[in-house]
Amino acid sequence: MIISNVIPYPIWCGHRNLLIVKVETECGLYGWGESGMSGRELAVAGAIEHFKQFLVGKPANQIGAIWQELYRGQYFEGGRVLTGAISAIDIALWDIAGKRHQVPVYELLGGKQREEIPCFATSVAMLDETFAQDVQRLAKEGWRVIRATNGDGADPDGKMTYDVRKNIANAAKALHEAREAIGDEIVLGIDLHHRLSVAEAASFCQKLPMGTIDFLEEPIRQQTPETYASLRTMTDIPFAIGEEWSSKWEARPFIEQGLTNFARIDVCNVGGLTEAKKIAAMAETHYIDIMPHDPLGPLCTAATNHLCASVPNLAWTEVANYSPDKSDHDRIFTGRPIHKPGVFPIPDGVGIGIDVNEDQLPKDGFRFWEAPRRYKPDGSFTNW
């Protein structure tokens, strides 16, 4: 079980790149992982090439020790590029471990704690009169947890003007109409993609009648936890925060200070299954459920589902039903997770349960891609 090769594949798949990673061993077993550092895949691939230099020759079953060396093996620890690389390698090593023992990975993480994995749908409808109609459609299909996005579209070149006050006014109205249309039993939330200031986020919350939404996701940037503490005093809406975390250390203040009510752990960014399991346990000690972030490819979804199967404190996991063309996924990936409204089945394949058809990887490989650019009416730059 000695590592013989580590191969990053940055590939164009639908509307963005995926960075998938293969770890090979001398005995012939191999594992697949995925990095979540969207838009900067070549930086992560470069980090993986550095890691490869000392990974080759190491025992693949020493997952925890390898994690520590990957994270602490340079003077500057962590950071999203490095943890994106660590995540992909870590997931691949767990995949190998499952294949070695001929069991699903969740069996190695303590076994399953549920019979199915609850998940949520995302409406990509504009936040206008069509949003309530789309939410009703999803509810009729059987979804019990529905999330809104920013709902502002984008020009073909990815640039657009983002009028914050207009957007939050429209969003508040659309969410209120949706709540009236679907009643109180369905969970409704919104992802604001950390675009707002504290004042803007508070103003948005104040425009919502009590009970309109069940969670507010990433309203502001998370680099300064004290800003979330300030916002917490201005609203009682539960927060869903965590998709920007790149380690247990970044998660700690949000969990220990009660600044998140749903922990948005990203398995492919936070350091893989090894680190995600620790953060989930930390959240459990504060009675916080996890709500994993997963906007990526099937390998990330598969790994995330093994985490979800094995922890006690799961709210819902994300379904990337707005992600790349599924025909690309069906051609490239064998055994990709398939959901039905509201749930994923528990994975039953060995390892993480998914394989990659390497001969089907796109010939054009990687394409440079940038996230959409948003500018305020005065021309200044703001977050995507």
Q: Which CATH number belongs to the domain containing residue 56 in this structure?
A: 3.30.390.10
User: For residue range 312-332, what is the model confidence (pLDDT) as tens digits?
Assistant: 999 999 998 644 456 677 788
Token pair belonging to 358: 């390497």
Distance between start and end Cα atoms, the chain: 43
Tell me if 140 is assigned to some domain: yes
Where in the sequence is the domain holding 327, given as residue range(s)? 107-350
pLDDT reading at 109 higher than 60: yes
pLDDT of 161: 87
Number of domains in the chain: 2
Distance between CA atoms of residues 122 and 253, nearest Å: 28
Residue type, 112: K
The residue out of 66, 81, 104 marking a domain boundary is 104
| 156 and 51 housed in the same domain | no
Q: Give the integer Cα–Cα distance in Å for 122 and 190.
A: 9
165 and 177, same domain (yes or no): yes
Each residue of 41-63: pLDDT tens digit?
999 999 999 999 999 999 999 99
User: Of 71, 104, 137, which residue is a domain's last?
Assistant: 104
* CATH number of the domain residue 133 falls in: 3.20.20.120
* Predicted confidence (pLDDT) per residue in 220-274, tens digit: 999 999 999 999 999 999 999 999 999 999 999 999 999 999 999 999 999 999 9
Are 99 and 119 contained in the same domain?
Answer: no
Compute φ and ψ for 46, nearest 5 degrees. -65, -40
Contacts 24+ apart (CB under 8 A), 24-27: 25/1, 25/60, 25/96, 26/1, 26/2, 27/1, 27/2
pLDDT at 299: 95
SS3 204: helix
Are 242 and 333 within one domain? yes
Domain end call among 104, 119, 136: 104
What confidence category does residue 311 fall into, taking pLDDT thresholds of 50, 70 and 90? very high
- Tell me the one-letter amino acid at 16: R
* Closest of 242, 241, 308, 244 to residue 273, by C-alpha: 308
362, with CB counted inside 10 A (0-12, 13-18, 19+), is middle
| Token pair in block for residue 266 | 């990203």
pLDDT digits (tens, 9 = 90+) for 80-92: 999 999 999 999 9
Q: 196 and 320 share a domain?
A: yes
pLDDT band at 155 (very low <50, low <70, confident <90, very high): low
- Polymer length of the chain: 384
Residue 373, domain member (yes or no): no
Q: How many CB atoms lie within 10 A of CB 262?
A: 23
Of the ranges 7-16, 144-153, 183-192, 368-377, which one carries the lowest mean pLDDT score? 144-153
d(CA 356, CA 338): 16
Amino acid at 288: I
Task: Give the pLDDT mean for 190-196.
Answer: 94
- Confirm whether 200 is domain-assigned: yes
Whether the model clears a pTM of 0.85, i.e. scores above it, the answer is: yes
Predicted local distance difference test score (pLDDT) of residue 306: 98
DSSP 239: E
Let me know: does 91 contact 36? Beta carbons within 8 Å.
Answer: no
Whether residue 111 sits in one domain with residue 70: no
- Domain check: are 17 and 119 in the same one? no
- Do 214 and 263 belong to one domain? yes
Q: What mean pLDDT, rounded, does the chain reach? A: 93
Alpha carbon distance 28, 294 (integer Å): 30
In a domain, 365, yes or no: no
> How much is the average pLDDT of 64-88?
95
Q: Is residue 316 part of a domain?
A: yes
> In terms of domains, do 10 and 91 share one?
yes
* 228 plus 189 within the same structural domain: yes
Q: Within a domain: residue 246?
A: yes
Predicted pLDDT of residue 322:
45
Same domain, 142 and 194: yes
Burial of 58 per CB tally in 10 Å (0-12, 13-18, 19+)? middle
In a domain, 355, yes or no: no
Q: Which residue has the tokens 């949520």?
A: 120
By DSSP bridging, strand 381-382 and strand 187-191 are unpaired
**Whether residue 144 has pLDDT greater than 90:** yes
Are residue 128 and residue 192 in the same domain, yes or no?
A: yes
Answer whether residue 191 is part of any domain: yes
Average pLDDT over residues 52-76: 96
Average pLDDT over residues 114-120: 97
Question: What pLDDT, on a 0 to 100 scale, did the predictor assign at position 150?
Answer: 76
How high is the pLDDT of residue 151?
61
Q: Does residue 13 have a pLDDT over 60?
A: yes
